[in-house]
Amino acid sequence: MIYERPVRESGDKHALHVEGLGYKVQLPWVWLPDGQGGEVRIASLDLVGQIRLNRDLGRLLADRLRPMIAGKRRVGMVTAVEKGLQVAQVAACELGLDEIAVAHNRVKPHMEPGRRPVIQVGADSVTSGDKFLALYERSISIVAEAVDGVILLDDVISSGSTMLALQSLVEAAARHARLDTPPPVITHACVAIEGEPALAPLTYLARLPEPRRKA
């Protein structure tokens, strides 16, 4: 029996094909500010709350990532809140990781800034609106212990700004832990790419259509 996903959003859709998924994902076309006073129309992949989709995509991502960490004992995963968090958790579980490092989009009270170490770097994401990403004590420790390498994982990679911010956090965590060198980046992983991100190595499951700008 073929699984048919319910369509819960109105308007035009883009049918995203993911190899191995077994069903297409209907993505709504939405308008977003482009940061330059105009608007850009994108096929919006919003994974928040999509339990089955996150489970299926996370398993497929784990299948791609598993050969990359074979034989490595001290591997970490770093992701950013909030849209990629669920799929990252599924992929990490499939890979046998007990915990992952999470970059938050603001410094929160439970991080106890001033009492505990907090690392913050700038980010510039059009889709999420995040301007800063921060790691606090637990996530800093996870990164510092991943001496065999880290997987940087997000839902979508377009400009690559979030990935660069995550990489900066890894480097800062290594400096905080007084490591001679930061953990190497095993790959930049995501569910889908948009455009041609200037990142290597790069692991993804699907390609989103090019954004459409207003004439």
Mean pLDDT of 40-48: 95
On whether residue 30 sits in a domain, the answer given is: no
Higher-confidence position of 215 and 1: 215
Q: What percent of the chain has pLDDT over 90?
A: 80
Question: Would residue 95 count as lying in a domain?
Answer: yes
The domain that holds 165 is classified in CATH as 3.40.50.2020
pLDDT tens readout for residues 64-111: 999 999 999 999 999 999 899 999 999 999 999 999 999 999 888 988
Q: Is residue 180 part of a domain?
A: yes
Range of the domain at 139: 47-208
pLDDT band per the 50, 70, 90 thresholds, residue 125? low
Task: Kindly report each contact of residues 23-28 with a partner whose C-beta sits within 8 Å and lies 24 or more positions away, as own/partner.
Answer: 25/53, 27/208
Quick check: is 159 in a domain?
A: yes
H or E element: which one contains 206? strand 202-208
What is the structure's pLDDT at 2? 65
Backbone angles phi, psi at 132, to 5 degrees: -140, 150
Task: State the total domains in the chain.
Answer: 1
